[in-house]
Structure 1
Amino acid sequence: MEGGRRITVSPRPCCGRRIVAAKKRPRANDGFVNSVKKLQRREISSKRDRAFTMSDAQERFRNIRLQEEYDTHDPKGPSSMVLQFLRKRSKIIEIVAARDIVFALAQSENNQRICFLNVSADEVIRSLFYNKNNDSLITVSVYASDSYSSLKCRSTRIEYIRRGTPDAGFALFESESLKWPGFVEFDDVNGKVLTYSAQDSIYKVFDLKNYTMLYSISDKNVQEIKISPGIMLLIYAKASSHVPLKILSIEDGTVLKSFSHLLYRNKKVDFIEQFNEKLLVKQENENLQILDVRTFEHTEVCRSEFMTPSAFIFLYENQLFLTFRNRTVAVWNFRGELVTSFEDHLLWHPDCNTNNIYITSDQDLIISYCKADSDDSLSEGNAGSINVSNILTGKCLAKIRASNSFPVDNNCSCSDKPSRSYCCNSKKRKHGSKMRSTVAEALEDITALFYDEERNEIYTGNRLGLVHVWSN
């Protein structure tokens, strides 16, 4: 998990997803707040004093509270019998905020696959990507008409969605055959899109601003491509004792360096990752190797100190990287030294999912859905907490937990309450003006999380299809 976001076609596609767009509530003096933030950014660099960063973050999140609730579920359901499953509640699997609109992607719980944002009836939206380069939302979908076997991308300007005409968008990469194991990867750091057509073994790089194709890579021996700022690492088929590698310029595909890295024979490669000039290689039951590809300086980290993580996130601003393993997060530098172990930051979900964590643009804070307390069990029904931690120190700066009280509105006439936490027929609650969930209930079974840095608001979605807004 580097700067890019890769979406692949699964041979067994996931359950159907649908997307609901909700307009953010207006904020008083929004223009003034944004002007102040712009002045702060201009006067205070991203490398600002650590003490100031921590106190600023604590102040930002000190009084954050549950403010609004939105319901993506339509209790009446569509009239078509084909869409009967949409009457059931579906968990939120992804949240994306784009200026004054929040998009929540919901996943159905049965085998029928369909979703809609004024789209065709057999479309399943697999993922969302907000392209800040041209202020548009990219949807990545599969279709029943080809047995959900190919990815299709579409770009829709946010202004079209705001006007209520989302069908005014246009298709992307129509010339590409993105059947499994093909993929599309959106790289926000470099402003590029990487596609892979497995049918003809061709990788193509597009400009994220205008979707112009820049160049292609046609080589059947390429097994994987890793993207980092300014460059791409091409990993070739492994030989008996080494793996051939190439480093290319991300801008024009020029080969900057070709070399091979020695491997232990008959040992599985756990991962090969590239970050700028640093190459990270780990084989099964072996030490982590960190190689500087410019000087070929070599560093090893004992396998007992660095165990293979389930995922990485590279922190470009700080020249560090995060590892995720067994619900824990750690920060390392490229000398192989452990920089940070987080206090009170045990992730709720066992698998690292970027939809459940958020790292700020300055890469100084991580916001995650965590266990509420080290003594709590992980049994279903317990409320977790939203933790805000400093990446460089590991210190927990703020926590949204169930002990924060919020009144329950029991004045509900709904005769079909699925649980005491919400009313399925409340129009007021559906439009965000009335809440049925307590803080504890809103913190149960969170399946997606997003932080809007401009508005200082956290959005969470849960398994019931409810989206909650947390702000000051």
Structure 2
Amino acid sequence: MDGRRITANPRPCSGRRVVAKKRPRGGLDGFVNSVRKLQRREISSRRDRGFSMSDAQERFRNIRLLEEYDTHDPKGHCSTVLPFLKKRSKIIEIVAARDIVFALAQSGVCAAFSRETNQRICFLNISPDEVIRSLFYNKNNDSLITVSVYASDNFSSLKCRTTRIEYIKRGKPDAGFPLFESESLKWPGFVEFDDVNGKVLTYSAQDSIYKVFDLKNYTMLYSISDKNVQEIKISPGIMLLIFMKASSHVPLKILSIEDGTVLKSFKHLLHRNKKVDFIEQFNEKLLVKQENENLQILDVRNSELTEVSRTEFMTPSAFIFLYENQLFLTFRNRTVAVWNFRGELVTSFEDHLLWHPDCNTNNIYITSDQDLIISYCKTDSDDAATEGNAGSINISNILTGKCLAKIKACNGNPNDDCGCSTTCSGRNCNSKKRVQASRIRSTVAEALEDITALFYDEDRNEIYTGNRFGLVHVWSN
């Protein structure tokens, strides 16, 4: 792994880690660019929300640009706010909960919008020097957790706060209370929210102690104190402790997530003098990949080892584990693939070339049934109907790789050659026209340009996208 330690896009049932960073020289740009995506997202499933292919096509067929929200306040929501918080900046994270859309800008400003009134409710920054780094919706107690840094301590220490959604709806973001005040979360400390197990993991670098808290009531459950622990990976029910690498092996421990009991201790043999690309845990399966070596899939119950040729499985830039389906997604060079734990390629996606080369998973959403992936993609360069530099929002079936629906801007009738349901989202299919709504200033093509964050609200069947201008667009039928 390359150390990208932040998941700034809370999705239902996702594991998310936020790392305290040193404030680099050079001001805000260096600081906000330190926000990084966690390379592994853990997603659980809800069986009551199934989609068939035809249902999905119909569900997305008539989606159009419906609303536009602006996170930028030219006057500044507070007269004494830090200067860079007053500047327009791109959206890096969107979360929806209980008919509220939360949009976090790279500057650190976070705004809440009501889908009932289509008005901005409030800003979540309750202090003039607060820079919000990440958001997490805690469905256990219907609250929003914000993770922030402050100018008063040189932006070096993470501070967490929880606020009930009902208070935010009333425009009272300051009605919440701080979390984990006893923890020193200075760089390289971190906090990780694990919705799968209902736990929070913190790391205090000051004393090299990991602590596990209950996500329901934030009580501390147990701690792990070992300076040789290099990394912790969380899976349903268990934690994998990865210790400092020895010359020919890496020591590992598997712990119960509930009480920290050691379930298994073992060593995994490594090729000497080869860099470890990644070590990942998925239930009883351990995935290990070293530089220029085959992928190893180890069953820790019986030590059965499966190898996948390095020419077939090349080191991805990110993973998404699908727990219910016993599969995992890999992201590499703008492409997505689905694998099983026998090391077999299950799915390659058609017409699903991701827009961002760095695999920005803020622009990817997996439905809670793990059957659909919604992504911001590049359009076919040969498609003459594509307008300007606009990308498309693609909805694809994870198990088949088929493109089921696509939202794109075009000059004429939608091109249905791909066989998917395509919507132009514009009046008379003309993306140069502005949608007839008082709050929408962007054309469809403009709304589909340089999307920097994407979220799908499964309850409302709406897609929310944010762009580099700090605008949030609502796509709905």
TM over 0.5: yes
- Residues 78, 218 of structure 1: alpha-carbon distance in 2 compared, 3 angstrom cutoff: closer
Equivalent residue for 2:426? Answer: 406
Alignment of 1:250-329 (within 5 A): 250-329=257-336
- Residues 3, 81 of structure 1: alpha-carbon distance in 2 compared, 3 angstrom cutoff: closer
Deviation at 1:421, TM superposition (A): 9.6
CA contact (8 A) 1:92 1:462 kept: yes
Distance 1:139 1:405 in 2: 33
CA contact (8 A) 1:78 1:84 kept: no
1:65 aligns with 2:64: yes
Distance 1:114 1:100 in 2: 20
One-letter code aligned to 1:5: R
Q: Secondary structure at the match of 2:52?
A: helix
Structure 1 stretch displaced more, 77-86 or 362-371: 77-86
Which portions of structure 1, spanning 4 or more consecutive aligned residues, are displaced by more than 3 angstroms?
12-17, 75-88, 113-116, 374-377, 420-423
1:89 aligns with 2:100: no
CA contact (8 A) 1:204 1:213 kept: yes
Distance 2:287 2:81 in 1: 49
Deviation at 1:88, TM superposition (A): 3.4
Alignment of 1:94-133 (within 5 A): 94-108=93-107, 117-133=124-140
CA contact (8 A) 1:245 1:260 kept: yes
Deviation at 1:81, TM superposition (A): 7.1
Distance 2:286 2:374 in 1: 28
Equivalent residue for 1:349? Answer: 356
Equivalent residue for 1:368? Answer: 375
Deviation at 1:324, TM superposition (A): 0.5
Q: Secondary structure at the match of 1:59?
A: helix
CA-atom RMSD, angstroms? 2.5
CA contact (8 A) 1:114 1:121 kept: no
* CA-to-aligned-CA distance 1:43-68 (integer Å, 9 cap, x gap): x756x6xxx61111111111111111
1:245 aligns with 2:256: no
Q: Secondary structure at the match of 1:294?
A: coil
Deviation at 1:74, TM superposition (A): 2.1
Equivalent residue for 1:468? Answer: 473
Deviation at 1:359, TM superposition (A): 0.3
CA contact (8 A) 2:328 2:338 kept: yes
CA contact (8 A) 2:65 2:425 kept: no
One-letter code aligned to 1:209: K
CA contact (8 A) 2:64 2:425 kept: no
Deviation at 1:117, TM superposition (A): 1.9
Deviation at 1:300, TM superposition (A): 0.2
Distance 1:184 1:459 in 2: 26
TM-score (normalizing by structure 2): 0.83
* CA-to-aligned-CA distance 1:419-438 (integer Å, 9 cap, x gap): x9999xxxxx9xx8431211
Distance 1:268 1:250 in 2: 29
Distance 2:296 2:325 in 1: 21
Equivalent residue for 1:23? Answer: none
Structure 1 stretch displaced more, 119-128 or 380-389: 380-389
Distance 1:362 1:182 in 2: 33
Distance 2:138 2:78 in 1: 34
Deviation at 1:77, TM superposition (A): 4.0
* CA-to-aligned-CA distance 1:22-48 (integer Å, 9 cap, x gap): xxxxxxxxxxxxxxxxxxx99x756x6
Alignment of 1:200-239 (within 5 A): 200-239=207-246
Deviation at 1:280, TM superposition (A): 0.2
Unaligned runs of 5+ in 2: 1-6, 8-12, 33-44, 111-122, 411-423
1:452 aligns with 2:463: no
Deviation at 1:471, TM superposition (A): 0.7
CA contact (8 A) 1:69 1:433 kept: no
CA contact (8 A) 2:392 2:406 kept: yes
1:9 aligns with 2:16: no
Aligned pair partner of 2:144 in 133, 137, 142: 137
Distance 2:48 2:469 in 1: 41
Deviation at 1:84, TM superposition (A): 4.6
Deviation at 1:362, TM superposition (A): 0.4
Unaligned runs of 5+ in 1: 18-40, 409-419, 424-428
* CA-to-aligned-CA distance 1:239-290 (integer Å, 9 cap, x gap): 1100000000001101000000000000000000000000000000000000
Distance 1:83 1:334 in 2: 49
TM-score (normalizing by structure 1): 0.84
